[in-house]
Chains A and B, each alone.
Chain A
Amino acid sequence: MRSLLWGLIRHRPDLYLASGMFASVLFYLFPLVPGLIVRAVLDRLTGAATAGPGIPTLVALLVGLGATQGVALFGAAAAETSAGQYAGALLRRNLFARVLERPGARALPSSPGEAISRFRDDVQVVYQFLTWTLDPIGQLLVAGVALAIMIRIDPLITLAVLAPVGFVLVFVNLASARIRRYRRASQEATGAVTDLLGEIFGAVGAVRAAGAEERVVAHFGRVNAARRSATLKDLLFTQLLWSVSANAANLGTGIVLLLAARAMGRGAFSVGDFALFVSYIGWLAQVSSMFGNFLTQFRQTGVSRERLVAALQGAPPATLTRRAPIFPRQLPDASPPPNGRADRLERLEARGLTYRHPGSDRGIAGVSFRLERGDFLVITGRVGAGKTTLLRALLGLLPADGGEVRWNGRPVDDPGGFLVPPRAAYVPQSPRLFSETLRDNILLGLPPERVDLPAVLRAAALDRDLALLDRGLDTAIGSRGVKLSGGQAQRVAAARMFARGADLLVVDDLSSALDVETERLLWDRLFAGRDARATVLAVSHRPAALRRADRIIVLEDGRVADSGTLAELLDRSPEMRRLWAGEVAGKRAGAA
């Protein structure tokens, strides 16, 4: 916790100190002044004091003080917001960079909705707390000044007031463990509600077709009720703590009343003194409850910090505050290195690749193959055979449990960082598009002058679709590309891959969203890409792909069942024959 806050402070100490000066120190000291002025007024009236400024001067002072306080507030707002927001931006940047550093298919620590809540809510808890960390100094200062003034008036009464404040601190500390638990439960319940809503409206067609609207909403109601009760528990507990602090103040005032009763009768304690005591005790109690609040926030920040560290998924906690450019002007020009490289693909080997999906016995085991430059290698197998897993493990999108990948004979330590453009590019089975223009979705940051877009569009069989879009490449394709059909989205992803000009093209099953004709066109173009010395590794069970393959690997239950040309495999592999027979079964049935 300390290192997290230190890291954030070191990032921008200037903003942090400015925020502390205005929002922490001045904020606490200002309210002490009116007490002094009102005391002077009352004492002049009762005759307890005869010297000092007259009442009109005192009244004018009150007004001037209010004006100063108002102006200082603007400084506080600007400084505090800047300090907090800069820290929040750094945290989010480092978390996001870490997510993008992880194997792509296992990037998030939890569901996307949950991850968003960490990026939003937990980051906010931490940066807000950061701007409060100097508050205890302001609080200490105000306590010191107020006590000094009060002791000068009456030491005995002053000391008697301190007791309840001490009680509050002990109490809040004892209660802290519970706060943590209730807060976490309430956060989890909220996550469950948002996750479920997302699922319901993602599946609206299925829900309607099943006529299950009422039942689904009844389930939603149950999840909602759980969130209500978790939130109310959290709230009740926080309120109780707050109430104890506030009562400590009243207790203090009550003690002053009891003790001052005698002193006032003797004339040793003036009405002005009384007003000052009540005012200061009120403020000190607020301050002490703010300190209690600070401790509470400290605990809750601890919860959020844990969640942020968990979101790092194994990286050291210091990663959160690592110095990094957070705003555009701090970034270097982001164009990737040009394509002229020494280690162009000659040969790619996978040796004994193994990956087990956590908590199951599924995955791939000991898969080896070899790919020479210009090869067209197809991986096939039935559903669940491990085809996608193999591609992901090869590309480092899943962390392999065993085996190695060699590029031109040299072992690749970090496939996820190595098998990227300009060495390799990839089209996943369900590609994701972003709500930007079509052009940006394809380029993803490549400098436009380095990409032959017309050729890329042709290769991805997108040229005809483009003519139908009203703004061509500048069409904004909507959230997650909703304005495109599934088939178009898949071809945009193919264009993305072609645009990288990579040596190795890796393509997962294209059949899920494309009609047969378009799919065949894409295979044609991919195959034609071989002339440009591209090497292709594809998952497919379509004849259009299998017929063209230089070599086919048949996966069965995560292992290589056989490999060879189509003819060889049809000759000797029963699994290949089964797959092929299913694919062309209709033909035989029709002929019969």
Chain B
Amino acid sequence: MSLKGYGAFLAAYLGPQRRRVALLAVLLLGSIGLQLANPQILRFFIDTAEQGGSLDALLVAAGLFLASAVIGQVVTVAETYTAEGIGWTAANRLRADLALHCLKLDAAFHGRHTPGELLERIDGDVLKLNNFFSRLIVALLGNLLLMLGVLALLFRIDSRVGLAMTAFVALALALFRALGGVAVPHWAAARAAHADLFGFLEERFAGTEDLRANGAVPYALRRLAERAWALVRAQRRAAVFGVTLGGTTFFLFAVGTALAVGLGAYLYRAGAITIGTVYILFAYTELLRRPLEQITRQLQDLQQAAAGLARVRALLDERSAIGDGPGAPLPDGPLAVEFDRVTFAYPPEARPASADGTADGAADGAAREEGPTLADLSFAVPAGGRLGLLGRTGSGKTTIARLLHRLYDPQGGAIRLGGVDLRDLRLQELQARVGVVSQDIQFFQASIRDNLTFFDRDIADERIWAALADLGLDGWCAALPEGLDTILPAGGGGLSAGEGQLLAFARAFLRDPGLIILDEASSRLDPATEARIERAVDRLLAGRTAIIIAHRLATVERVDEILILEGGRILEWGARGRLAADPDSRFAGLLRVGLAEVTR
């Protein structure tokens, strides 16, 4: 990344914290000044003592030394705390920006990236940038300043010493730079082995039941052993290559100290400097150690941060194929739906994201090879109408639902909602007016209230209770220890599939949409539980347009029209009563065998 790129990034995330950054700079300069002053006090002390100076002067020097040491510590703690605070604030902002950005990306993106991978990129990569934000630039500058300060003071003592030590510093930096990259590929390999091990464990944790009940425990332990060995080997290599730099440092500083002490001895004997100055040469050489070591490491960190920044930028540069519309207004109330010669095929790399709900990924895959998933499809549902979608898995039912809330855009034709092309609507408006209830329901480890409202604090509790009452869940919720504030455990644990489904209905109730898409909403419910929510569903559908995708005939009883899809085309479309009465219709045929699926 270019210097300008760094600058823009830092400006964006540190800019709002200008004052804290300024405070940090002051603290840093203060701590450098104290470090440079300390040896000067010691020199004064030694020279005064050697020359038999006054005891008072010596005691004052000792007092000064103590004071500067204590102040130095306070400054250092304050500096670290300020820097970390700045870093965390900036990194958290970046995390939130990334999370929001990713959430707004299209389904194709989420098809390519698993939740685990996004977690690593939003939290893991950014964690590495914490250091970049908080310390790296400031500390690098600080170390450079400290180094230059020491060299300048050495020049003041004697230009020969200054020159010699400058040459030493230049040599050390060049050597460190040359050696700096030696361990990098080995650390990368170690990190990869590490990631592999924990990826393995995470998967197995999810599958303990499968492993246990199918007698695969020894197998899992063997796989773990393979990964453990790979990790040990990679870590050992990385550690040994990793100390190349450290080992060289020991040697180099021995040379540096030898140089300072040797030069000091020569100059002292030549009468050019005092014994206190010989000591200060030694002390300043020691003082050079830390910046020299750190500058090399910080330059490497900067490279790593650049890699991390590049990954973050790449993520931020991902553009959703679904652009926001200019914001045409939608009519109030129920919304008419119109598919006008719609042609659509999934983009080649997209498998349907696990999150959006259904299980016909394979069917989509198969359809991909045969041609478009939807071919020149036209149909309409009037405002307030109810359409039942039937068809085999992979016939395009779920795809219709996905197109309707713009997880994808069609390649040909137009989809209109309330007479407005979807692409002309603001996405937010679209999402607000189209409610989707799918069979795959996701919950957060958060309160029931937040789960139902999706963290919308503006929804009054009365509305939530009303929605729960409509679904017969008010008793269940009131019996919970903390009512609406009860925190659902991870993964919605403790909820039965039926309760989960009912809560998903409650979510839709609260949003009051003009179009409801029930996407296989009842396939996991047993018939008895389903009967319990039929009344509630009827209330949900009242005054709204509805598209219901169903596997069972019971579900389509409540619709006005039936549309049967096959291979992305309409096989049959008409009023339910008429189709049922026509003995030659596919629908009537289905009723006879009692299946909602089109079988061959």
Contacts and interface: CB of A to CB of B under 8 A. Distances in A.
A451 interface: no
B232 A89 contact: yes
Closest 6 CB pairs of A and B: A582-B527, A586-B553, A66-B254, A445-B219, A590-B591, A211-B431
Contacts of A587: 553, 591-592, 594
Nearest to B457: A215
Contacts of B507: 210
A198 B116 contact: yes
Contacts of B77: 236, 239-240, 243
Given A246-B73, A264-B50, A488 B362 contact: yes
Contact of A487 (B100, B362, B441, B511): B362
A291 to B, nearest CB: 18
A108 B528 CA distance: 33
B257 interface: yes
Interface string B48-69: 0110100100110111011001
Q: Is the interface of B mostly helix, strand, loop or mixed?
A: helix
Given A228-B92, A465-B362, 5 more contacts: A85-B235, A203-B444, A206-B438, A384-B496, A486-B358
B55 A261 contact: yes
Interface string B204-217: 11111111111111
A395 B208 CA distance: 13
A485 B360 contact: yes
A331 B208 contact: no
Interface of A is mostly: helix
A253 B250 contact: no
Interface string A432-456: 1111000000001100000000000
A97 B42 CA distance: 60
Interface stretch (B220-228, B292-300, B308-316): B220-228
B306 to A, nearest CB: 24
A2 interface: no
A121 to B, nearest CB: 11
Interface stretch (B23-31, B236-244, B416-424): B236-244
Interface in A179-195: 192-195
Contacts of A382: 498, 526-529
B192 interface: no
A196 interface: yes
A147 B432 CA distance: 76
Contact of A198 (B119, B209, B252, B430): B119
Given A257-B45, A579-B527, A515 B248 contact: no
B228 A93 contact: yes
A397 B209 contact: yes
B597 A327 contact: no
Interface in A367-421: 381-385, 392, 395, 397, 416, 419-421
19 contacts: A56-B262, A67-B250, A89-B229, A100-B212, A112-B206, A199-B443, A199-B444, A205-B355, A224-B96, A231-B84, A243-B77, A250-B72, A253-B65, A327-B228, A428-B209, A485-B362, A496-B214, A517-B597, A589-B554
A479 B116 contact: yes
Contact of B214 (A115, A264, A271, A497): A497
B261 A381 contact: no
A543 B594 CA distance: 11
Contact of A55 (B265, B428, B511): B265
A34 B371 CA distance: 78
A175 interface: no
B80 A235 contact: yes
Given A80-B239, A590-B580, A328 B226 contact: yes
A160 interface: no
Contacts of B491: 111
Nearest to A327: B229
Contacts of B580: 590
Contacts of B359: 485-487, 512-514
A204 B355 contact: yes
A163 interface: no
Given A63-B258, A271-B50, A512-B524, A38 B282 contact: yes
A585 interface: yes
A583 B224 contact: no
Given A211-B432, A224-B96, A383 B212 contact: no
Interface string A505-522: 010000111111110000
B189 to A, nearest CB: 14
A380 to B, nearest CB: 8
A228 B81 CA distance: 12
Interface residues of B, number: 176
A485 B364 CA distance: 9
Contact of A257 (B62, B354, B597): B62
A199 B208 contact: no
A235 B84 contact: yes
A42 B442 CA distance: 74
Contacts of B207: 431-434
A93 B435 CA distance: 47
Interface stretch (A3-11, A69-77, A138-146, A149-157): A69-77
A92 B100 contact: no
Interface string B331-364: 0000000000000000000010111111111110
A405 to B, nearest CB: 14
A217 interface: yes
Interface string B30-55: 00000000000010011001101001
A70 B250 contact: yes
Contacts of A231: 84, 88
B99 A70 contact: no
A506 B229 CA distance: 36
A42 B65 contact: no
Contacts of B89: 228
A308 interface: no
A496 B210 contact: yes
A199 B249 CA distance: 46
Contacts of B279: 42, 271, 274-275
B158 interface: no
Contacts of A211: 427-428, 430-432
A13 B295 CA distance: 38
Contacts of B599: 516-517
Nearest to A110: B490
B66 A250 contact: yes
A512 B351 CA distance: 19
B100 to A, nearest CB: 4
B103 A82 contact: no
Contacts of A196: 444-445
Given A221-B96, A231-B88, A516-B551, A326 B205 contact: no
Nearest to B552: A586
Contacts of B246: 70, 73
A246 B38 CA distance: 15
Nearest to A391: B213
Interface in B492-545: 494, 496-499, 507, 511, 523-531
B118 interface: yes
